[in-house]
Homo-oligomer: A and B are copies of this chain.
Amino acid sequence: MTQTPRIPGRVPAAPPTLADVAERAGVSRQTVSNAVNNPELLRPDTLERVQRAISELGYLPNRAARNLRTRASHLIGLRINPVPEGTANATMDRFVHSLVETSSEAGYHVLLFPGDPLDPLSGYDDLLRATAVDAFVVTDTYLGNPQATWLEKRRAPFVAFGRPWDKPDAAHAWVDVDGAAGCDLATTHLLDKGHHRIAWIGWRKDSWIGEDRRSGWYRAMKSRGLSTTGLASRVEDTVHSGRSASAVLLDEAQPSAFVCASDTLAMGVLQTLAERGLAPGRDIAVVGFDDSQVAQVVHPGLTSVRQPLEQVAVEVVTALRGLLGHPPSPPRQVMLTPTLALRGSS
């Protein structure tokens, strides 16, 4: 096959190859490859000549060819699941932004793939067998994580965002945010404001994350010797549930403040307050979890526990580099602490 001639002033149909650069620089293809991957091997003047040819031609190594040869795609697979309508939660989307940003600095791109919500494993296998990605970032660990077990068995490199709830001593790499610490922070904040009867609205008992967050509220209350009896409620993660749970709690336990496992639930609390003519922050304090857009724009602002997702992304990428390095470093397990975004509701 003859090479398409490069007509000056016209964008070539096919991008330049190593051979094009080599010809222009008057060296062999391997020398160009070295100039790109091991520049220190070249004599300064040769390097200079090759680099000029590279930039004149606008050469960039063909990804497919490089991938084939190096058996690496520099792609990180991330499965994204549908976001339920009617909730405030957008943690994953925020995380995706951070991950794309951070991994790009490490030379990786993020490949998104959809998964069947009913099958936590779906999607991974094909990508793995086709060697389409170098590693995965696993996020949906809310119900144990079969993915981790499965990927480990397949010897596929991966980092989980979310600790292995079902087996705390699992050896794989993970990064998580300490939800208990976050709720402790939120509760302590309210205690310091003078509240004594602080109610908890969380998720159902089968949610590890929910129980973890709840434990933060519980321990903060206990550390001040306060009773929690009758002050806790476990419901579905919907605005409606938050609304009715808070109504019941208000009637039966007279709390002066609420800590919620999510902003979605907290929005339900705000609804109850609105219905009863109570002012959030003045009459009753409310704290949510996730620092969603909703928390940021609702009146008068919803105080909320904020996960340091940018930091999570950094740790995830660091762990990934470790796993993918030569030699691979041992799996990192990192726990980060959230902060509290203070707003009008407290």
Chain A residues with CB under 8 Å of chain B are 11, 13, 15, 58-65, 67-68, 71, 73, 75, 80, 82-83, 85-90, 93-94, 96-97, 100-101, 104, 109-114, 126, 128-132, 153-155, 239, 264, 267, 270-271, 274, 292-294, 296-300
A303 to chain B, nearest CB (A): 15
A307 to chain B, nearest CB (A): 14
Which 7 A-B residue pairs are closest in the complex by CB-CB distance?
Answer: A64-B67, A64-B68, A60-B129, A93-B93, A63-B132, A271-B299, A267-B297
Give the docked Cα–Cα distance between A71 and B1 (Å).
15
Chain B hits for A104, CB < 8 A: 113-114
Taking a contact as CB atoms under 8 Å apart, the answer to whether B294 and A298 are in contact is yes
Select from chain B the residue with minimum beta-carbon distance to A76: B112
A1 to chain B, nearest CB (A): 12
Taking a contact as CB atoms under 8 Å apart, the answer to whether A298 and B296 are in contact is no
Q: A15 and B60 in contact (CB under 8 A), knowing A93-B90, A293-B87?
A: no
Chain B hits for A155, CB < 8 A: 11, 13
Give the interface centre of A61, A62, A264 by most chain B CB atoms within 10 Å.
Answer: A62
Taking a contact as CB atoms under 8 Å apart, the answer to whether B64 and A297 are in contact is no
Give the docked Cα–Cα distance between A58 and B68 (Å).
20
Q: Which of B61, B71, B111, B126 contacts A75 (CB 8 A)?
A: B111
Give the interface centre of A13, A83, A129, A155 by most chain B CB atoms within 10 Å.
Answer: A129
Taking a contact as CB atoms under 8 Å apart, the answer to whether A63 and B131 are in contact is yes
Chain B hits for A271, CB < 8 A: 299-300
Chain B hits for A299, CB < 8 A: 267, 270-271, 274
Chain B hits for A110, CB < 8 A: 111-112
Q: Which of B97, B109, B154 contacts A82 (CB 8 A)?
A: B97
A294 to chain B, nearest CB (A): 5
Taking a contact as CB atoms under 8 Å apart, the answer to whether A114 and B101 are in contact is yes
Give the interface centre of A64, A65, A104 by most chain B CB atoms within 10 Å.
Answer: A64
Chain B hits for A93, CB < 8 A: 90, 93, 96
Select from chain B the residue with minimum beta-carbon distance to A242: B297
Select from chain B the residue with minimum beta-carbon distance to A68: B64
Give the docked Cα–Cα distance between A108 and B184 (Å).
44
Q: Which of B83, B88, B130 contacts A297 (CB 8 A)?
A: B88
A19 to chain B, nearest CB (A): 15
Select from chain B the residue with minimum beta-carbon distance to A274: B299
Taking a contact as CB atoms under 8 Å apart, the answer to whether A86 and B129 are in contact is no
Taking a contact as CB atoms under 8 Å apart, the answer to whether A86 and B296 are in contact is yes
Taking a contact as CB atoms under 8 Å apart, the answer to whether A59 and B129 are in contact is yes
A7 to chain B, nearest CB (A): 13
Q: Which of B64, B89, B96, B154 contacts A11 (CB 8 A)?
A: B154
Q: Which of B60, B63, B71, B96 contacts A73 (CB 8 A)?
A: B63
Select from chain B the residue with minimum beta-carbon distance to A271: B299
A9 to chain B, nearest CB (A): 11
11 additional A-B residue pairs with CB within 8 Å, beyond A83-B94, A88-B297: A11-B154, A11-B155, A15-B130, A58-B129, A67-B67, A82-B101, A87-B297, A109-B112, A109-B113, A274-B299, A293-B294
Select from chain B the residue with minimum beta-carbon distance to A298: B298
